[in-house]
Each structure stands twice: as structure tokens, then as C-alpha cells.
Amino acid sequence: MKDKQQNTVAKLKIGQTFPLTIKRLGINGEGVGYFKRQVVFVPGALPGEEVVVEATKVQPKFSEGKVKKIRKSSPFRVQAPCPFYEQCGGCQLQHLDYNQQLQEKRDIVIQSLERHTKLKIDKLEIRPTIGMEDPWNYRNKSQFQVGQQKNGAIIAGLYGLDSHRLIPIQNCMVQHPLTNKVSEEVRKILEEFQISIYDERKQKGIVRTIVTRAGFESGEVQVVLITTQKEMPRKKLVMAEIKKRLPEVKSLVQNINGNKTSLIFGEKTIHLSGEEVIQETLGDLNFELSARAFFQLNPMQTVKLYDEVKKAAALTGKEKIADAYCGVGTIGLWLADGASEVRGMDTIEAAITDAQKNADKHGIENATYVTGTAEHWLPKWVEEGWRPDVVVVDPPRTGCDRKLLDAIKKVKPKKFVYVSCNPSTLAKDIDYLSKEYKVEYLQPVDMFPHTAHVECVALMSRVEK
């Protein structure tokens, strides 16, 4: 049987065209179909569509292809409004009706649970995805690479899909209008003053990236120029011109990254002008954002996400909460008014310093923060007589560290609230805890409309034995 399957795969060759019915969306927003039992991923194809596909990559376990012709179109297919959509690759689903995007994102969560757990999906409560009333202009931060054309014109934008070709973008439809306006004006200033632009191929030049962050509530903007070195000719003139033309820019910063890397930021940051931070508000909480500080990219949906965490925790004022992967403390501080005590931990010392500052600034006296791992602190606190009733986690895309999940099993909080940005690792972690914790429900939240990305709040409660 194995030999027969291998022969079937070998029959599909690069450049070959074949008919395909799209069954579902994959985790990266591509259409997924099956040709002679082999899975085929097709970017741009939608569930229910019948397409003719050209094979672009053939692997033993899967193939990839591109749409040559749509024989039967999805009723939910729409014209993508962004002129850069086909080239840019930053969004994957603009060609799908927004309400249907929300349905498909819920389905992506279900697929992950089916693939990585032994749970009976029909017995689970998987709620409809919480979307945005207006799913545009939601991102508060842009990171536009800069490049120089042969005629000397400076362009700023994003690299094309699967390429290192820079696509100039004057107006990104998912960015806050202020970030678009400021990035474009800074680009013009760099061009007018003939500032040296980094050439990736030649490894020469100075300015690499324009990073712009806007406070939705404050209207304040921070600009970070990423450069290969500290010295930049006409730096003072550029700073003066930015201040003159863009009064909304309250903070001007330089970050130095001279390495050959795809990482945006380097280690050294220099405050150039204005404030060191800009202000942003979430609900009743105010945050100071420095150039390197992590902050959710969609503040409007963040409020909805954190409110879902609060609902899941169902606080009465008596609960002790442990906030693992706490970062600058946003989730723990959101919950503090309903809890008796919040204790947060993170391995990044600077984040813990910011978290404690945020708690002090808001007069939140029942929240404390420590540097270190949850697997170290949780058992230690239990030994000292402090056992959390609720543990909240908001881990990176890789999911929870196995040692943390083992610590959860030992410490036995009544509730475990998991905020996930990756359905696959969420499902794997749920499966690992399935003997000790029952899934009460999952609530998908759309933090990034028109992309394949989906966040999810999972409420799990301890199984009494």
C-alpha cells in the first residue's frame, strides 16, 4: 500500500495542472483540497470553490499550487479593496466576506482540536468568533522597510509575498491612519534630505526601517528610525523637519541594528527628541509605551479579549490569581479589581519592572510582579501557603512550556484561563492537560481582520477526582 501511495504522489509534477475542490481554509489562510488523497495547499482559494490548480511545489506529504482558473466561485468571495493586496502578503483573506472570515476562523480552531486532541468536538462549546464592527485601520504600529530605487527615489513598505522585493505602500488599509500619514511624511523627508538608505544586497547604507506607533486614545505618535550605525548625516535637520511637519509626533527615537538579520530592532536605542514614551489607554488603564515595549497591536479588540478573560475567570473578589507570561502586566491589572490578589511572573526583567510601575501608577496595591518562570514560582508559593485559584496564561505562538503545564498539574488551580494566539499549540496544551482539566468553552476573538490569525480564550476547570 505504501509503494502505491508513493507512486500516486510521484505522478504529480511541478507545472502540472489539475482540478481541485477546496474543502476548508488552512491555518495560514490558504485553501486546502485533496488530489488523489494527497493534501494540496492553494493560496487565494476559498472553501467550496472548484478550481484548476498548477502545482508549484511537490513534497512527499503535501503539495502547493496556484489558482489558474476558478470554475465555481464561493458565494463569499469579494473584491479585495486594497490595491497592494495581491503583492504584499500582509493580509491573506481580504477576498473573503468579513462575516465569513469569522466563521472560518472558528473552523480553524475546530480543525486544530480535531488534529491534536482526543476530545469529542461535538460535545465542546466553541463560541462564534468575536469580530470588529469596522474591521479596518486597526493596527497601532507599522514597520516599513525603506529602499532606494535607481532614480534615487526612496520607497517605504513591506516585502512581497515569499520575496525580497519591496512593495511601496502609501496607505495600508489595516493600519491606523496616523501611522500611514507619519510613515509617508518621514519617507518624504528622508528623500528630500538625501539620507543614505540601507541596501541589503550590498550591505551598505544607514536607514533600514521606519517604525511608527500611534496611541488610539491619546493621538500621540512615536517614530523610531532603525539605522545601521549611530552617526547619520543631517540627523538634526531631519529631526527638526519631522517636528515641524508632524506635531503629533511626541517621541522620536533611533535604534541601531547593524547586523545581517531579519529582526527589526537592534540592542541599542537612543532617545532623540520629545518624550521617551507615548501614552495609550485600555479601558480604565493608562500605559506608557517605549520604543521596545510590547503592546497589543489592536487596542479595540484587546479590550474585548481581556473582557472575555475576565468573564472566564468569573471573579467574586476573593480569588488569588497567578498571571504567567505576564509581560508588562496588562491582563493581571485588568483582573485586579475583581480579585483578592494578583501575582505575575515573566522571565524578562524589564517587563517585570514595567508591570510593577504600571500597578503602582494605577494605585493597584493587590498586584505584585517577580522575575522568573512560572514553574519556579508556582510551587514555591504553594510551599509558602499561597495557592492560586485561577492561573491565566498568554504564551507566545509556541504555546506553554511543558514544565509550566506540569506545574499547573501539581499546583491544581480551580480554573485555568488560556489566551492563545496559535490554535495548534493551544490544542496540544489542552490535550496534555485533558486528564486533569476539562474544557468548559472556547471563545475565538478576531484580533487581526483580513489575516488568517485567530486568538482564542479557553476556560478550563479542574476535574475533581
Secondary element (H or E) of residue 110:
helix 98-116
> Is 82 labeled as catalytic in the residue annotation?
no
Torsion over CA: 32, 33, 34, 40 (sign): negative
Q: Write out the three cell numbers for 62.
A: 503535501
Integer Cα distance of 190 and 196 in angstroms? 8
> Which residue of the set 82, 400, 421, 456 is catalytic?
421
359 φ, ψ (degrees, to nearest 5): -65, -45
* Distance separating alpha carbons of residues 148 and 199, to the nearest angstrom: 8
Cell of 104: 472560518
Which 8-state DSSP code applies to residue 421?
Answer: S
CB 177 within 8 A of CB 248: no
Task: Indicate the helix (H) or strand (E) that contains 67.
Answer: strand 62-72
In order of 132, 297, 334, 362, the CA distances from 300 in angstroms are 8, 9, 15, 21
Alpha-helical segments (H) within 251-401? 299-313, 330-335, 349-361, 374-383
First to last CA, the chain: 45
Angle between helices 177-192 and 235-245 (to 10 degrees): 140
Cell of 155: 520607497
Q: Binding-site residues for S-adenosyl-L-methionine, please?
A: 296, 325, 346, 394
Q: Active-site positions? A: 421
